[in-house]
Structure 1
């Protein structure tokens, strides 16, 4: 079972998400909170696998809560849900450590799919969020940024770099395994080392480095 915590200041949204996810045989909603601070307390208490996190909330917003959460050991995956499809929100969510970014009007089946995807260790961005992220990266990449990103990648082995490029292309672990003729557990091990060596908290941040270096 994938244990999910919902953090949103709108009680109707919390109820709708709980009702929708409650019909899934492999997902269990273990709790909900109305702000980031309360959400952090429930994460410590309930130990969910995935947190659905709103951005705009009182007391502590979702971006700050995500940032604090990813400073803890073994944090859950975080999927940021928002009504705002803006470049700065995507970038700030990624920087905070979010593993996914979806609009609240995303189809229920896609939200369920996103939860399963991040629970499996992959990243999930809505198509519009992905376009925003790539567009921002392309427009802001300078020669200094490209050089800095390339230097960061020098710590990787040849195989790790191949995996990093696949991550940058948005491939899942199973797709990387198929393309590089590796087992899925081996790919997961490589991704884990990538995160450590690059000082990244999730796959999207690895993808940003690869994009900055001009490898995809």
Structure 2
């Protein structure tokens, strides 16, 4: 059973999301939180697989809550925002979030997003995500690129190729077709890339690829 925690300071939003997700086979909402601090405590106690995290909440914002959850648990965090280029989402990605969703999403998009992230994938396909990450990596922190670029030496040539294709937003099947290998081989390459670089998921791999200079804006991620 896929376990979900919903963190949002608006009762109606929490209730609406809970009704949708509880109605899905193999999925259950194990708890709700109205503040960031409550979300952290609930995650530690209930151990959900996925946390839907609002950005703006009292007591502790969603960014700090995401950082604490991702550093202290195995839960995947999906950030919720009202705006497609919300400045806070940049920090959320760096804090460990596996992706983000607009609050005006359709029912099916919410359900699919939760399942995708729980399976260890990340939300790279939606146009808004592509635009957000492309904008994020155009503004790297000072000195980041040289420091991260050195870590690429830990990867094999094939793993570097896989990372570059992940950063362009390709799925495992598309990467397999490009490299002329099996889906299983691609999963192995991606898993090793994440492990060697200490990254949680594919979103973090995309950010790393751009900030290290391996992939440049305009190489295929933007909408």
Could you tell me the TM-score, scaled by structure 2's length? 0.84
Q: Which runs of 5+ in 2 are unaligned?
A: none
Shift of 1:118: 0.6
Cα 1:31–1:119 shift into 2, 3 Å: same
Shift of 1:148: 4.1
- 5 Å-filtered alignment, 1:158-177, equals 158-177=157-176
Contact preservation (8 Å) 1:50, 1:115: yes
How far apart are 1:127 and its partner, in Å?
2.0
Q: Counterpart of 1:88?
A: 87
Quote the residue 1:198 is aligned against. 197
Could you report, residue by residue, the CA deviation over 1:71-115 in whole angstroms, capped at 9, with x for unpaired residues? 114x21110001133352221110010001111011121111111
Equivalent pairs counted in the alignment come to 213
Q: Which residue of 2 aligns with 1:23?
A: 23
Q: CA deviation at 1:45?
A: 1.9
Is 1:61 equivalent to 2:41 in the alignment? no
Rounded to whole Å, the distance in 2 between the matches of 1:10 and 1:174 is 39
- Using the size of structure 1 for normalisation, the TM-score is 0.86
1:29 deviates by 1.1
Aligned partner of 1:46 in structure 2 is 46
Secondary structure at the counterpart of residue 84 of structure 2: coil
Does the residue aligned with 2:203 lie in a helix, a strand or coil?
A: helix
Q: Give the secondary-structure state (helix, strand or coil) at the position aligned to 1:16.
A: helix
Say if 2:3 is the partner of 1:13: no
Structure 1: gaps (5+ residues): none
Contact 1:146 1:214 in 2 (8 A): no
| RMSD (Å), alpha carbons | 2.4
SS of aligned partner of 1:154: helix
* Aligned 1:113-132 pairs, distance under 5 A: 113-125=112-124, 126-132=126-132
Instruction: Measure, in 1, the Cα distance between the counterparts of 2:111 and 2:174.
Output: 20
Moved more, 103-112 or 161-170: 161-170
SS at match of 2:72: coil
Q: Compared with structure 1, are the counterparts of its residues 144 and 38 closer, same or farther at alpha carbon in structure 2 (3 Å cutoff)?
A: closer
